[in-house]
Amino acid sequence: MTILEAPARPRAPISPNALILIAAVLGLGWAVASGVQPLGVITFAFVAAAWVLSVGIHEFGHAFTAYKAGDTTIVEKGYLTLDPLKYSDLFTTIIIPLVALALGGIGFPGGAVYLREDLMRSRGWRSLASLAGPLGTLVVLVVIAVSLPLATASPPLFNALSLLAMLQASALVLNLLPVPGLDGYGVIRPFLPERVQTGMIKVERVGFLILFALIFWVPGVSDFIFAAALTITDLLGVSRPAIGEGWRTFHFWGS
């Protein structure tokens, strides 16, 4: 997700929080692989922590591209540090995505970076800055899929990673939808007539909530998201049964 904001002064990009999060993901991954009990709780924590890390990578993609495009305010905002706290908003980054994960197993887009599109060199760069986030998600998805054979010795870890791959795929699908407020719309927005862009500003502010409502309350929408995401994971060789087992372990309160 990308939002526009006023400029800020530069600051050194250093983040111990990113290292702590990476250490937590690795530690929880080891615990899942070792079968530490309660496995459901540990799996939930591992997937949730890895999800937050993946959101950071997604937002870093936006920020790095915007910086290359001419938005130097990115440095001051700390967006080049992978610090999850810099990309966090209580409602859109934590509450809504966790509810989406818990209720439907959907990797709902979370996090936000505030970009200065007026500082970017061209419409093409502005479009690329929006596309860079989903490309980051795609990289994470491919890395997980390629790493799965290394986890076959531990079914719990294999299943958890398979679920995580599915969540990345669903996030990729959602982010690329041309819905105002999401990256798919951000990709095409610079090329739309000025009056259309202006008219969509208010819609962008609530597009996130509209999509959430459509997914969970309009029949067929979530089915489309799952079908598209599963098509992607199938192409990458991710096992559907493993995704299901990972979900059942992750969703420990529903067992």
**Which are the catalytic amino acids?**
59
Distance of CA 187 to the CA centre of its chain: 16
